[in-house]
Structures are given as C-alpha cells and as structure tokens.
Structure 1
Amino acid sequence: MGINVLPHAVRELRRLGILERLLPLAVATEKLVYANRHGQFVWREPRGLAAGYAVPQLSIHRGKFQMALLEITRQRLGEDAVKTGRKVTGFVPDNGGPVRFHLEDSATGRSYDEKADVLVGADGIHSAIRAQLHPGDGTPRWSGELMWRGTTVAPPFLTGR
C-alpha cells in the first residue's frame, strides 16, 4: 500500500537530510486527478512541485518508506536505537523526568518496563497510549464499511506522476 507524503512533511525530511535517499523509492506526484468510471475527468489539482512548493509530494510504498526510515535511523543512532517485536501496553508519567512505559515481547509474552525522555503514541488504531490518555473514548467505532486496496504493476498513464 502506498502513502502520500505531503510537501510540509517532505520539507522536514529534507531538513533531516534524508530526502535524497527517499526520492529513488517514490514517485514525485504531479497532480491529483478524479475521473468517473468511464475515465472522464471530474476534477484535477496540481501537487508538490507542480503546485509551486519548493519540495515534491511523494507517493511511496508504505513498507519501503518504513524500511528506509528504519535503516537511516539505525545508521545515525546505532543498531539498538529501534527495537522491534514489542508492544506498548501502557506508561507511567514521571512529572519532569523520564517516562516509564510498559512493553510486552511479542515472541515470548514477557512484560517489562523501559524509560525514555519522550514517548510518542504511534502504536496503531488500538493504541494503548491513546486508551490510557483518553479512557472515556472507548474502542474505535466500526462504520460497517470495508475498504479494499490493491496495487499492480502496469504501464504508467497520464503523466505517470
């Protein structure tokens, strides 16, 4: 599955000095086009460089993007900077000091705690961090809609961007 990294986010990737590493993995999106089922244009709008931004909008495969970011992070911060195979199950705030958070090893089921200066709750739709911060929200509500996405290798159409 692909994602679109909008120019304001691409600008930050450039500031981090990693944009050049990501460009070969992505398509610099030129325009957003909506068409009906017969291929007739409904609406179009320029994106990224074509819209006048200083940086492109990138359309990139989510997995390739994540793996590139992982590789760059490990190169810059060391191999142990990112630990995979663990699930955050909660945290204990420490006013003014490091935050202690609870982890569960996905392979062994073993629970343990770690400390960090910053904890970012990017742990998915069933976020333990969100649930702890906003206990009254409950679980996400299902709309009853299923959305299927797919991709295929095919010749480019329109401009290919």
Structure 2
Amino acid sequence: MHDIAIIGAGPGGLVTALRLHQQGFRPTIYEAVAELKPLGVGVDIKTVGTKEFEELGLLEQFRAMSVEAVDSIFYNHFGQEIYAEKCGVHMGYLHEQRFVHRGLLQMMLYRTVLERLGDDAVVLGARVVRYAQDAEGVTLDIENRDGGAQQVRHEAVIAADGIKSAVRRQMHPNQAEPEFSGITMWRGTTLREPIRGGHTILHLGDPGSRR
C-alpha cells in the first residue's frame, strides 16, 4: 500500500507525510485553504516531538526558530508559587522541550514536504467533505475553492483535518463535536524584557479562582 491520502496540511499532516516518505511512501496531502500562511500562536513541543524533528533531520532548523523550556512554574491567582519543576533535558529526558510559533513551524514543514516529496505532494484549495470505503480503497469527495468538485481514489486515507474533521464527523457522528470543559484559557502576546531569562513556562491562576 503506497497510495495514501492525508487530509490537512497542518503540522500534524505535514509531519505524517514526512514520516511516511521516510518509509518509502509518497502520500498526497489535500488542504482546504488556497494558500498556507504562518498563522497561529505559540505551541509547546514536548520531548517526544523534538525527537521526531531529530529523526526527520530537522532538529537544527527547529532549534533556530524555537525557544528551549528550562523551568515550569505554577502560580495561584494571588501570584504565589505553588509548584516548580525542570523541563526536557534539564529534568533528565533525552530531548529538549521547546516552544515555537505554530505558523513558523508549519511553513518549515511545508517547505520540507515540497523539497522531499515534490511540488504536487500538497493539493491546496481542496476541501475533503466525505469519503466512501470499499474493499479496494477509499474514494474522497472534494470541493474545490473555485466552486468545482471532484472525486479521487487512494488505497488509504489519514485524517489530520483538525477539530472540525469531516472524516471524524462521518465516522463517529455522535462523538465529533468538541465538549466545553468549563475552563477558558486566554492567550496573547506582548513585547517586554524576558521573565526569568526567557526560558520559563509560567502557569498563572488556578481552576478554583473566581476572578
């Protein structure tokens, strides 16, 4: 089985394509947007993720665009320290824990996929809306950004199309919608002098706080 479709050109889909390519496959990625742009916020790449980049030969590129996490400290909503621990290699793991802007990471992986698999490995402007599986493989129904539609055949499909996955909704219609946990996390960015040297994860507030 070599003809594999991947739905979604986010970091997950792109890494999956590179890993399959290492094993001799040449997958095709279908992405709904017409142009990939470096969008998103900061993401936390744990030690197992850094190991993946090392095995893909991308560790130095990843290090150049990311920041290593050294300490992780929890504070309550009064600013009092609750708990602190080290991160990554500073805690005894074999690989680093690092932070990176999701969009920059995605674009690095996108360039690598095009370099290693070819320019036609990623089909942009192609939204997969449903699939049909039979004994020989899978048929994907695709809506194109120009308003057209098409069907493509592959031996297998891997869904990496995010929280609103059309494949997951079709496969598990009663479990496809996210459920609110009751906790809201606010995220933002600002320019300022680094806190504690710029290598510390600060967990501020706690689930029991009211304000």
Is the TM value for this pair above 0.5?
Answer: yes
State the TM-score, normalized to the length of structure 2.
Answer: 0.68
| Letter aligned with residue 101 of structure 1 | L
| Letter aligned with residue 88 of structure 1 | V
Instruction: Look up the match of 2:30.
Output: none
Instruction: Look up the match of 2:162.
Output: 124
Structure 1: give runs of 5+ residues left out of the alignment: none
Q: Could you say if the C-alpha distance between residues 160 and 138 of structure 1 is closer, same or farther in structure 2, counting changes exceeding 3 Å?
A: closer
Question: Is structure 2 residue 171 aligned with structure 1 residue 133?
Answer: yes
- Structure 1 residue 129: Cα displacement: 0.6
| Letter aligned with residue 11 of structure 1 | K
Deviation sequence 1:118-160 (CA, Å, 0-9, x none):
4221112221110111123253344676543211222111131
* RMSD over equivalenced CA pairs, Å: 2.0
- Equivalent residues in 2 for 1:65-80, closer than 5 Å: 65-80=105-120
Question: Is structure 2 residue 125 aligned with structure 1 residue 85?
Answer: yes
- Structure 1 residue 38: Cα displacement: 4.8
Percent identity among equivalent residues?
34
Instruction: Look up the match of 1:35.
Output: 75
- Structure 1 residue 62: Cα displacement: 0.7
Q: Which runs of 4+ in 1 moved over 6 A?
A: none
SS, match of residue 59 in structure 1: strand
- Structure 1 residue 39: Cα displacement: 3.7
Instruction: Look up the match of 1:112.
Output: 150
SS, match of residue 108 in structure 1: coil
Deviation sequence 1:88-144 (CA, Å, 0-9, x none):
10112233x442212211x32222122334422111222111011112325334467
Q: Could you say if the C-alpha distance between residues 22 and 117 of structure 1 is closer, same or farther in structure 2, counting changes exceeding 3 Å?
A: farther
- Structure 1 residue 22: Cα displacement: 1.0
Cα distance in 2, alignment partners of residues 69 and 81 from structure 1: 13
Structure 2: give runs of 5+ residues left out of the alignment: 1-40, 200-211
Q: Could you say if the C-alpha distance between residues 134 and 34 of structure 1 is closer, same or farther in structure 2, counting changes exceeding 3 Å?
A: same
Deviation sequence 1:57-109 (CA, Å, 0-9, x none):
111111111111101111111111112222210112233x442212211x322
SS, match of residue 131 in structure 2: strand
Aligned residues: 159
SS, match of residue 198 in structure 2: coil
